[in-house]
């Protein structure tokens, strides 16, 4: 048996390590689309009025929230920076379709109608939750007490349709009056209408209602459990699977190394966390 020269062995090992590093680094770079690999920037659309997912810090004016922290962790994993581009919610998908942004990370529900032009990596669960003013708890004790009443919710979400479907099954089918669904500009507008007495209850995402309740203690009271669930996803143009798959790989690493769990805990979203990121999960159910 020939003995390997110690110096030559060390040199060979160093060469092997270097080639392995270059290969994995190259593979990492190739995982991103060429333009992003070159610029080291991903343009991300966000609608910054959805705390605790994304909102402006009232003191600093900086973008903060669960999605912001998660996005920055993804960027670090991919070796890039994020260019957050604020947009009205209804302009998020058009900005993706026209190529003004590379992806959307803004608490967007993964629902079938949105998958015509986009793919979604589902990273959080959301549920439609009835809530009322705490001062009216004696009037509304269970969800069916809302039959025949007016309920407000953001028109840009799936909640109006979810509420109407729940009403058909639990109110009309039982011979009770239908819930009148009032579409509002956003969730804060629904809460304002609730305070003004224009609606009896609101519907908000189960991941955001606790934050609103924290900001206004003893003001709101959830009624029952979330009655419709859907995943929230990061949206990508269907023409950009390379970026989608790169972000999927980064998310899986963040789940495996505990970073995802730490961000979830920071924003008190443990009940909405996922164990595994999936692609267009709602369609696969």
Q: What single string gives the DSSP state of each residue in 89-102? A: GGGHHHHHHTTS-S
DSSP string covering 39-66, please? H-EEEEEE--EETTTEEE-TTT--EESH
For the chain, what are the domain ranges?
26-126+230-284, 128-229
Rounded CA-CA distance 18/231 in Å is: 42
Position 25 pLDDT exceeds 70: no
Q: What is the pLDDT of residues 219-268, one digit of tens each?
A: 999 999 999 988 999 999 999 999 999 999 999 999 999 999 999 999 99
Structure tokens at 143: 């969800």
Position 9 pLDDT exceeds 60: no
Architecture of domain 128-229: 3-Layer(aba) Sandwich (3.40)
β-pair partners for 126: 230
Position 13 pLDDT exceeds 80: no
CB 168 within 8 A of CB 216: no
Q: pTM for this structure?
A: 0.78
Q: What is the pLDDT of residue 158?
A: 87
The domain over range 26-126+230-284 is classified in CATH as 3.40.190.10? yes
Q: What is the pLDDT of residue 107?
A: 93
Angle between helices 259-266 and 66-78 (to 10 degrees): 160
Kindly state the average pLDDT of the residues 102-121.
94
Position 17 pLDDT exceeds 50: no
Rounded CA-CA distance 115/245 in Å is: 16
Kindly state the average pLDDT of the residues 150-177.
96
Q: Return the biggest CA–CA distance within the chain.
A: 90
- Of all residues in the chain, the percent with pLDDT exceeding 90 is 82
- 26-126+230-284 and 128-229: same fold? yes
More confident call, 133 vs 228: 133
Q: What is the pLDDT of residue 22?
A: 34
């Amino acid at each position: 048996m020939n003995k390997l020269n110690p110096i030559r062995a060390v040199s060979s090992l160093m060469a092997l390590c270097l080639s392995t590093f270059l290969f994995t680094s190259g593979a990492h770079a190739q995982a991103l689309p060429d333009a992003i690999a070159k610029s080291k920037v991903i343009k991300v659309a966000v609608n910054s009025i959805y705390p605790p997912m994304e909102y402006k810090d009232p003191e600093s004016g900086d973008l903060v929230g669960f999605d912001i922290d998660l996005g920055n962790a993804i960027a670090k994993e991919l070796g890039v920076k994020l260019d957050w581009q604020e947009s009205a919610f209804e302009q998020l998908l058009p900005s993706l379709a026209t190529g003004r942004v590379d992806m959307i990370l803004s608490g967007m529900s993964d629902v079938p109608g949105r998958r015509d032009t986009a793919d979604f990596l589902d990273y959080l669960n959301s549920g439609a939750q009835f809530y009322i003013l705490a001062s009216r708890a004696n009037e509304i004790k269970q969800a069916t007490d809302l039959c025949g009443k007016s309920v407000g919710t953001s028109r840009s979400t799936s909640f109006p349709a979810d509420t109407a479907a729940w009403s058909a099954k639990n109110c009309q089918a039982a011979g009770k009056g239908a819930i009148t669904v009032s579409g509002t500009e956003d969730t804060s507008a629904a809460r304002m209408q609730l305070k003004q007495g224009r609606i009896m209850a609101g519907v908000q995402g189960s991941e955001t209602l606790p934050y609103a309740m924290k900001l206004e203690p003893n003001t709101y009271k959830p009624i029952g459990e979330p009655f419709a669930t859907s995943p929230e996803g990061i949206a990508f143009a269907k023409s950009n699977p390379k970026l989608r798959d790169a972000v999927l790989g980064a998310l899986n690493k963040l789940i495996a190394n505990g970073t995802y769990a730490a961000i979830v805990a920071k924003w008190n979203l443990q009940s909405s966390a996922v164990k595994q990121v999936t692609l267009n999960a709602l369609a696969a159910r």
